[in-house]
A and B are shown apart, each in its own frame.
Chain A
Amino acid sequence: MTVTVVGGGLAGAVAALAAARHRDVGVRLLTAGETSLRAASGLVDVLGYAPGGEGPVADPFVAIPRLPEEHPYRTVGVDAVREALALFDGVAGGAYAGAGTDRNALVPTQLGNLKPTARYPATVAPGVASREQRTTLVGFEELTDFDAALAADRLHATLPYEVWGTSVGLPVDLEGVPETTDLAAALDEAHGRDGAREAFERFHDELSRDILMHDDTDRRVGVPAVLGLEATESLRAELAATVESPVFEVPTAPPSVPGRRLERLLRGALEDAGVTVSTGHRVTGAEPADGDIEALTVETPDGGTRVETAATVLVTGGLVGGGVEGGREAVREPVFGCHVPAPDDRSAWAAEAALGEHRFARFGVETDAGLRPLDAREEPEFGNLRAAGSVLGGYDFAAEKSGSGVSISTGYVAGRLAAEDAA
């Protein structure tokens, strides 16, 4: 019997991995194309702020049981969050840090704000701001998204130790208006050529001109997240050797290099777990039978197909990923037409303040205790459909800093339940 996971982001990957642990089911993952992981910072936030902006939360596991009842974390329960993170930690291995403690780390953002997060890429780890260590941030003039001097100023104003920042020229030549992903690809290439020696010597020469004026002992050096998509750890070691300091990355805006690395890591884990991944497969609807979904209609690069399914997990994302769509008058879940509650008056969807309490941030399906989407009469839409990740409503991941944690924990529970449905 087959569990079909509809969506290839973080929640989808975890759902598929959780389902694949069940020995009696096969798992197939259908994904339309690029996922919103590519826009994600690569940090795995669990809960940084309680509702109302209270925080930063030091221990998410203390705060989760106090969340409002409709929150997806309350639906799955705090123990499931722990189990799900353990699954993620097993998959991530050495690529992520933070598993050793319940506590959040404070990591520097690209603007030099601090953000509480539960798991962070190994490339980010040496830069954790909650560890006191003198810090130098180095940006690249051409990558204007990360202004190292500005970020350092802000960190210096907030933290009890010296943070200093500067910008240097690009270590490799790039055409046009370069993005972080372009530099990452060029550094991978440079690594293949000469271990990126030339590039990093150029970096070091430029930096030395500035650094001479500062005490450079016992410091760490932070750069925007550009250290390759493939040779990341070698590049980081090479750069650390060149500048004779630990090197870390600061996550930046999309297109996100750590987000792509995470996507790659998850694809590898899915392959290892025997999950069949079909990319370019957009699920457009369902064939219901007796209140269940019997088969899915799928658009594929070759046309269309019908996929039989014993149990289905809806992990198509929220407004960003396309799992939730707003029209001029109503909000909908476009694949299965699940009910999405929203105010009739569109003007109530958004707050007046740009970063205010937006109702649209909470748009998504409501579920029963087993993560089954509910219709307008609060009955399950289908007996064998579970939902996870940003397609769920009732929480504002941006304000809470809870996106990845909700995706992982609801994906985990939905995948496990779907496997039971199918078995």
Chain B
Amino acid sequence: MGYTPHVVVVGGGTTGVGVARDLAMRGLEVTLIERGALTSGATGGMHGLLHSGARYALSDSDSAADCLAENRVLREVAGHFVEDTGGLFVERPEDPDGHYEARLDACEAVGIPAEELTGAEARDREPGLSGEIERAFAVPDAGVDPFRLTEALASDAGSYGATILTHAEVVDVDVEDDAVRGVRVREHDPTTPGEPMPGDVVDIDADYVVNATGAWAGKVAAMAGLEVPVRASKGAMVVTADRHVDAVVNRCRPRGQGDILVPHGDVSILGTTDVAVEDPVSYARENWEVDLLFEELSPVVPALSDARSLRAYWGVRPLYDPDGGEGASQSGRRADRRVDDGAPGDLTRDFALLDHEDRDGLWGMSTVVGGKLTTHRLMAEQVADHVCGKFGIDRPCRTDEIPLPGGEQADPEQLATFDVDAATLERVHDRWGERAPEVLEPLGPNPVVCPCKRVTRGEVETAMDVEAVFETDLDAVRRRTGVGTGDCQGDRCAHRVAGLLRPEHDLDQVDRSLSAFYGERWAGQRHVLWGEQLSRAMGSYALHATTMNRDHPVESPNLDAFDPGPGSRGEGEEDAGERGGSEA
């Protein structure tokens, strides 16, 4: 090929980053542009479930089959981001008759392995389950870390030559003579994602643009003068302070709100709600959603009724609404099919690929909407096939066989030489793979900065150096290291982490990063303030406002108006003694 097309992929969720990686692996020139940090959209607002397909088996067997296949592929190529928890579908007495059998049959039809369990057998595996659970079946659900998965996709895309631009917002799509020529980009402040920086915009030429912006897809399409009907639906999730179950627990009933509990590390995630919203950014995050999750899931796992929660967060699902548009999905298989289980959000959870040449007569752009994290690789493959086809490029997809980086092991003999406890060693090795020695042995001393998660200074500093992480964006550092995600939610470590930006950054930057980080941690806690968590919130507020005086720092004090302390300056030397501070 004498000519290498330059493809701009807009959107830094798993879909966009997966597309960028696939295209880069096939030798195309790729630039990925993301408005915030990677995963700052729907990818960062999901419950981290790697579907077995069982949740879709009844309503959408094709989608379920995709999930099953991709579940298997990801365990092979991205196993280091997967926690093999297994999953259970559990039935309570009031759940509708026949649903259990129907779902089990549907799983069998799709080929999803399902093992039937009595209530007692299910409780043997999951002692936290209610005594009223009558029966269950086990499926190969698993947990997946969407942050590290996406970051690995981006890093690998980078190693195949892709350029990853984060904190850069596409503000216009350049269209000339019925063809897309490029995009116009404005830089954002990485410390406070979403805030545009003053200054010039930059034009980036493109031979092709892939719009993978999820809930924002309509907005980006409109910049090219196109109409893409996308609806957004919010979902609340709550993170409990304890790991209440070891397997993913699904309520075996028609899909509804508050029917899933996913274990992750030492916590569990309750999910979720499904409420249409107008705007994917500014929507109400409501306490009734949080309360609903506890009401619905406590009958399944009774300990949840008085469980402590660390935080709540929300994600926005993009739902392609073809009835609102022309319905002209191209290779978007099944995109206009309806899910008929009567659940809230009756649009399909599957994805649509809209070729704007075929659909709108505009050359050089496609939009991909919908889909699931579990099937992101398959989606990316289909999008990349489509884009390559536009340029007559025929190269096979290899993402189903080439493993993602981060899974390589460090030399165990070298690891054994580090003077750290076994738990820290395991956690660092798990998070950093072959880079573990680098994290464990920084140039200077390597004390713990996050006492809850035992994250060390070296680990934070290494994360600040990771490509596609802006070091002043401490949320990105948190996603990389887990710093601030433990029991105290940043109360004890936020200032320590921000302090590590110095001396490379000035005090103003340290303060802005600290406020943004502490503020993000607070935003999640704000919705779960009852019981012990309310007490802790007050404690954290007291520490940061009272002991540190972060809320009213004194800028330019008139020192003469204040008590100069016992003894005057000339007497300072005498103060060196034992009675130095005693009352004057």
Contact = CB atoms under 8 A, between A and B. Distances in A.
B445 interface: yes
A71 B557 CA distance: 27
Contact of B547 (A97, A131, A157, A253): A253
A149 interface: yes
B451 A177 contact: yes
Contact of A220 (B515, B522, B572): B572
B583 A99 contact: yes
Given A100-B566, A123-B581, A320-B535, 12 more contacts: A94-B582, A98-B563, A111-B548, A122-B581, A125-B566, A141-B444, A177-B454, A245-B576, A246-B572, A347-B286, A355-B545, A361-B538
B542 interface: yes
A253 B563 contact: no
B548 A109 contact: yes
Interface stretch (A10-18, A53-61, A72-80, A280-288): A53-61
Interface stretch (B384-392, B400-408, B526-534): B526-534
A208 B569 CA distance: 24
B526 A352 contact: yes
B530 A327 contact: yes
A150 interface: yes
Interface stretch (B83-91, B141-149, B327-335, B494-502): B494-502
Interface string A90-130: 00011011111101111001110111100001111110111
A133 B564 CA distance: 10
Contacts of A98: 563
Contacts of A89: 583
B569 A131 contact: yes
Contacts of B538: 318-320, 360-361, 398
A322 B531 CA distance: 10
A157 B526 CA distance: 33
Given A113-B550, A150-B502, A399-B552, A58 B561 contact: yes
Interface string B209-246: 00000000000000000000000000000000000000
A360 B583 contact: no
A145 interface: yes
B352 interface: no
Nearest to B448: A177
Contacts of A346: 287, 529-530
B287 to A, nearest CB: 5
B563 A354 contact: no
B555 interface: yes
5 contacts: A116-B554, A158-B556, A246-B572, A346-B530, A398-B542
Interface residues of B, number: 76
A160 interface: yes
Contacts of A116: 554, 562
Given A326-B529, A398-B541, A150 B499 contact: yes
Nearest to A116: B562
Contact of A56 (B445, B499, B557): B557
A153 B511 CA distance: 13
Nearest to B285: A347
Contact of A114 (B454, B531, B554): B554
Given A110-B548, A360-B534, A401-B546, A144 B559 contact: no
Interface string B500-535: 001100010010000100110111001101110011
Interface of A: 39, 41, 45, 48-49, 53, 55-56, 58, 89, 93-94, 96-101, 103-106, 109-111, 113-116, 121-126, 128-133, 141-145, 147, 149-150, 153-154, 157-160, 169, 176-177, 218, 220, 233-234, 236-237, 240-241, 244-248, 251-254, 318-320, 322, 325-328, 345-347, 349-350, 352-355, 358, 360-361, 397-399, 401, 403
A109 B553 CA distance: 10
Contact of B543 (A254, A347, A350): A254
B427 to A, nearest CB: 14
Interface of B: 286-287, 291, 421, 444-445, 447-449, 451, 454, 457, 492, 495-496, 499, 502-503, 507, 510, 515, 518-519, 521-523, 526-527, 529-531, 534-535, 537-539, 541-559, 561-569, 572-573, 575-584
B344 to A, nearest CB: 22
B457 A109 contact: no
A345 B365 CA distance: 47
Contacts of B563: 98, 100-101, 103-105, 128, 130
B565 A355 contact: no
B559 to A, nearest CB: 5
A232 B584 CA distance: 19
B572 A144 contact: no
Interface centre among A100, A154, A176, A346 (most CB of B within 10 A): A346
Interface centre among B507, B527, B552, B553 (most CB of A within 10 A): B552
A222 B563 CA distance: 19
A349 B566 CA distance: 42
A354 B519 contact: yes
A156 to B, nearest CB: 10
A399 B544 CA distance: 10
Interface centre among B444, B562, B564 (most CB of A within 10 A): B562
Interface centre among B286, B291, B538, B555 (most CB of A within 10 A): B538
A145 B496 CA distance: 6
B559 A132 contact: yes
Contacts of A154: 507
B491 to A, nearest CB: 8
Contacts of A49: 552
Given A49-B552, A94-B579, A113-B554, A319 B451 contact: no
A126 B565 contact: yes
